[in-house]
Structure 1
Amino acid sequence: MLENTLPVLLARLDFAWITTFHILYPPLTIGLAGMLFVGEALWMRTDDEYWYRLTRFFERLLIVNFAAGVATGVTMEMAFGILYGPFSQAAGPFFGQVLGYETITAFMYEAGFIGLMIFGWGKIGRKMHLFATFNVALSSALSAMWILDANSWMQTPTGVELRNGVFHITSLAKALLNPDVLYAFPHMLVASYELALALVGAISAWYILKGRHVAMFRRSLRLVILALVFVAPLQVWLGDSLGLTVARHQPTVLAAMEGHYDTYNPDGSVNTSWKLLAWPNAQNDGTVWSISIPHMLSLLETHTWSGKVIGLNEFPADERPPMLIPFYGFRVMVACGLGMVLVAFWGAWLVYRRKLDARAGGTVWFLRAAVAAAALPYLGIWVGWWTREVGRQPWVVFKIMRTAEGVSHMSVIEEVLWLGGYMAFELTVWGAVWWYLAKLVRQGPDLDAPIPVFGGVDPEPERAGAGGVRETPKAEWPAPPGGIHASGAR
Structure 2
Amino acid sequence: MDTTAASALAIDLARFQFAFTISFHIIFPALTIGLASYLVVLEGLWLWTEQVRYRELYQYWVKVFAIAFAMGVVSGIVMAYQFGTNWSVFSTFAGPITGPLLAYEVLTAFFLEAGFLGVMLFGWQKVGPGIHFFATIMVAAGTLISTLWILASNSWMQTPAGFTVVDNQVVPSDWLKVIFNPSFPYRLAHMTVAAYLATGLFVGAAAAWHLLRGRSTPAIRTMFLMAMGLVLVLTPIQMFIGDQHGLNTLEYQPAKVAAIEGHWVNIPGESVPLILFGWPDMAEEKTRYAVEVPYLGSLILTHKLYGEIPGLKQYPPDDRPNATVVFWTFRIMVGLGILMLALGLWGLWLWWKSELYTSKSFLRFALWMGPAGLLAILAGWITTEMGRQPWVVYNVMRTAVGASNHSVLQLSISLIVFIVLYCLVFGIGFAYMLKIVARGPDEGAGPAAGSIDDPFRRPARPISGADDVVPSAPGN
Normalised by the length of structure 1, the TM-score is 0.90
How far 1:48 moved relative to its partner? 1.1
How far 1:437 moved relative to its partner? 1.4
How far 1:420 moved relative to its partner? 1.1
Is residue 216 of structure 1 aligned with residue 219 of structure 2? yes
Is residue 43 of structure 1 aligned with residue 46 of structure 2? yes
Please say if residues 204 and 223 of structure 2, whose CA atoms lie closer than 8 Å, have aligned partners that are also in contact.
Answer: yes
Q: State the secondary structure of the residue aligned to 1:23.
A: helix
Is residue 228 of structure 1 aligned with residue 227 of structure 2? no
2:450 alignment partner in structure 1: 452
CA displacement 1:226-282 (0-9 Å, x = unmatched): 22221111111111111111000000000000001111311x4xx411111122234
Please say if residues 191 and 235 of structure 1, whose CA atoms lie closer than 8 Å, have aligned partners that are also in contact.
Answer: yes
Report matched runs for 1:318-333 at 5 Å. Answer: 318-333=318-333
Q: State the secondary structure of the residue aligned to 2:434.
A: helix
Change (3 A) 1:208 1:105: same
Change (3 A) 1:443 1:289: closer
Matched residues in 2 for 1:467 and 1:195: separation? 31
Match of residue 381, structure 2, among 374, 378, 385: 385
Change (3 A) 1:3 1:26: farther
Matched residues in 2 for 1:150 and 1:276: separation? 33
Please say if residues 68 and 429 of structure 1, whose CA atoms lie closer than 8 Å, have aligned partners that are also in contact.
Answer: no
Matched residues in 2 for 1:431 and 1:265: separation? 52
CA displacement 1:214-234 (0-9 Å, x = unmatched): 332011111112222211111
1:482 alignment partner in structure 2: none
Q: 2:49 is aligned with what amino acid? A: T
Supply the RMSD in Å over aligned alpha carbons: 2.0
2:432 alignment partner in structure 1: 436
6-15 or 280-289: bigger deviation: 280-289
Is residue 112 of structure 1 aligned with residue 115 of structure 2? yes
Please say if residues 456 and 472 of structure 2, whose CA atoms lie closer than 8 Å, have aligned partners that are also in contact.
Answer: no
Q: Percent of pairs identical after alignment? A: 36
1:481 alignment partner in structure 2: none
1:273 alignment partner in structure 2: 273
Matched residues in 2 for 1:173 and 1:74: separation? 27
Is residue 411 of structure 1 aligned with residue 407 of structure 2? yes
Change (3 A) 1:2 1:234: farther
Please say if residues 329 and 383 of structure 1, whose CA atoms lie closer than 8 Å, have aligned partners that are also in contact.
Answer: yes
Matched residues in 2 for 1:465 and 1:27: separation? 32
Report matched runs for 1:17-166 at 5 Å. Answer: 17-166=20-169
CA displacement 1:396-436 (0-9 Å, x = unmatched): 00001000110000111111111112112221233112210
Change (3 A) 1:282 1:248: closer
Is residue 193 of structure 1 aligned with residue 196 of structure 2? yes
Q: State the secondary structure of the residue aligned to 2:165.
A: strand
Matched residues in 1 for 2:7 and 2:339: separation? 36
Matched residues in 2 for 1:214 and 1:447: separation? 8
Q: 1:422 is aligned with what amino acid? A: F
Normalised by the length of structure 2, the TM-score is 0.93
2:249 alignment partner in structure 1: 246
Structure 1: gaps of 5 or more residues = 478-490
Matched residues in 2 for 1:41 and 1:333: separation? 33
2:311 alignment partner in structure 1: 311
Matched residues in 2 for 1:129 and 1:164: separation? 51
Matched residues in 2 for 1:302 and 1:201: separation? 35
1:483 alignment partner in structure 2: none
Matched residues in 2 for 1:214 and 1:377: separation? 26
1:366 alignment partner in structure 2: 362
2:466 alignment partner in structure 1: none
Q: 1:347 is aligned with what amino acid? A: G
Please identify runs of 4+ aligned residues in structure 1 that moved more than 6 A.
1-4
